[in-house]
Amino acid sequence: MVSARAAQVGPQILVASNRGPVSYAFEADGSLTPRRGGGGLVSGLSAIGSEADTLWVCSALGDGDREAVRRGVGEAGVRMLDIEASVHAAAYNGIANSVLWFVHHMLYQTPLEPVFDAEFRREWGAYEAYNRAFAAALAEEAAEGASVMVQDYHLALVPGMLRELRPDLRIGHFSHTPWAPPEYFRMLPDDVARQLLRGMLGADRLGFLTHRWADAFTRCCEDAVGGLGTTRVGVHGLGADAEFLRRRAHEPDVDERLVALREQIGAGRKTIVRVDRTELSKNIVRGLLAYRQLLLDHPEWRERVVHVAFAYPSRQDLAVYRDYTAEVARTAEEINSTFGTPGWTPVILHVKDDFARSLAAYRLADVALVNPIRDGMNLVAKEVPVVSDEGCALVLSREAGAWEELREDAVCVNPYDVMGTAAGLFAALSMSPGERSDRSKRLAAAATALPPQRWFLDQLGALREA
């Protein structure tokens, strides 16, 4: 399938992911403006230096992206695939976000779900087609012997499909999510479970964020397909990008927001900060209930603490996400109407995504609350101690991937245990300034042990050796 031209001049390093590093928005005059995204992968790839030898294959996500593909507007080093909108929706919303995300984060309310019916089979067909489109594009573009780094649960079938098209390539796959234990994974129909595992095992090397997720994957393979075969498995715990964060957190727009937030919070009060996308796995509602419990158990903290909760919209095409977002707002309002006083708003909830304001909140946080019911890593847990002005205590769920690296200096909680989380918040608020500052420094050191550039280069190196 490799074209003669690609074999000679095609890229040597390819990345494939559903969401790419750029997206396009329509302007009033019909022109298209590109918006560059951030994240570990973008800064990781920047470690390569020259873009000449790299290609990022991603999917067009909105109308702006689709139009950009049609007009041939594009960024160097990026190929966006215009996969039919209905196929993409069924693959992304139907399978990736409503099935695979739910399985790996163990989110189902099992008395009634999941239901693997005819509609599921139709969506599964779309997921296969969407994966095939990626495999075909990668096969067409890659230079002979190139390294291809496939990302995440959206593209679990790509390694196997690509291996058939281009046996000469080195293929890696990285999971940014947890992996389900076999007892949960086997909820999937047997043929689908096997297809997913065999798809992944088409890779030379698979990467996971923690040993826990890597072990779970290995056990699923032993359970369903007789083991890993020749595929190697490695752990790469993506860390925070300290250099970027510290610089960005002191730019004027962040300073402005810091002043505004301080005013909203009120002088002399402590702050418990959380910043999340509003995903079901982030456990925002139980976090609010734990804060409510803290105010009940320790009335001496009323008027003296504010919970700053940023819950940014995510996957709003899905009703269950919209309902969850509404429940977050309802719970916050309930706390404010029960405990609030004319001069004190116990919960400040913001739902409009604003990165500069998130950084401002990181800087002033006395306590960071990170309590997901399950999370691949959770970079917020790593970013807050890095950016914090005076050191902050971290209340951290033992179900977050970051727990493996940060548990020594965090206040660790069971995310389902609201009383226990309230006690954790109390312990964090009561920590002496000296202890808080010492722990925060150690947390920042652990959080930055593997910066994105090294995270990416390590994987590339290991794939080349595999």
Contact footprint for ligand F6P (CB under 6 A): 19, 152, 176-177, 314-315, 376
Q: What angle do CA 98, 99, 100 make, to 5 degrees?
A: 115
Cβ 389 to ligand F6P shortest distance, Å: 27
Cβ 444 to ligand F6P shortest distance, Å: 21
Cβ 378 to ligand F6P shortest distance, Å: 9
The DSSP symbol for 151 reads: E
Q: Given the complex with ligand F6P, which of 18 and 388 has the nearer CB atom?
A: 18
Residues in the chain: 466
Widest CA span of the chain, in angstroms? 74
List phi, psi (to 5°) of 172: -120, 155
The two tokens of residue 305 are 């603490």
- Rounded-to-integer distance, Cα 181 and Cα 377, Å: 17
- Rounded-to-integer distance, Cα 99 and Cα 105, Å: 10
Q: Given the complex with ligand F6P, which of 344 and 355 has the nearer CB atom?
A: 355
Q: Given the complex with ligand F6P, which of 175 and 440 has the nearer CB atom?
A: 175
Q: Given the complex with ligand F6P, which of 315 and 363 has the nearer CB atom?
A: 315
Cβ 102 to ligand F6P shortest distance, Å: 13
Cβ 236 to ligand F6P shortest distance, Å: 13
Cβ 39 to ligand F6P shortest distance, Å: 7
Q: Given the complex with ligand F6P, which of 60 and 143 has the nearer CB atom?
A: 60
The two tokens of residue 372 are 């997901």
Q: Are 292 and 335 in contact (CB under 8 A)?
A: yes
Cβ 49 to ligand F6P shortest distance, Å: 24
**What contacts 24+ positions apart, CB below 8 Å, involve 225-229?**
225/194, 225/197, 225/198, 225/201, 228/201, 229/201
Cβ 223 to ligand F6P shortest distance, Å: 23
The DSSP symbol for 298 reads: -
- Rounded-to-integer distance, Cα 137 and Cα 208, Å: 25
| Nearest alpha-carbon partner for 426 in 440, 344, 418 | 418
Q: Are 443 and 409 in contact (CB under 8 A)?
A: yes
Q: Are 216 and 180 in contact (CB under 8 A)?
A: yes
Cβ 314 to ligand F6P shortest distance, Å: 6
CA torsion through residues 158, 162, 164, 170, sign? negative
The two tokens of residue 159 are 């390694």
Q: Given the complex with ligand F6P, which of 264 and 316 has the nearer CB atom?
A: 316
Cβ 219 to ligand F6P shortest distance, Å: 21
Q: Given the complex with ligand F6P, which of 41 and 392 has the nearer CB atom?
A: 41
Q: Which residue is nearest to ligand F6P (CB)?
A: 176
- Rounded-to-integer distance, Cα 176 and Cα 163, Å: 22
Q: Given the complex with ligand F6P, which of 314 and 437 has the nearer CB atom?
A: 314
Q: Given the complex with ligand F6P, which of 93 and 414 has the nearer CB atom?
A: 93
- H/E stretch holding 260 reads helix 252-265
Q: Given the complex with ligand F6P, which of 42 and 418 has the nearer CB atom?
A: 42
The two tokens of residue 35 are 């918006």
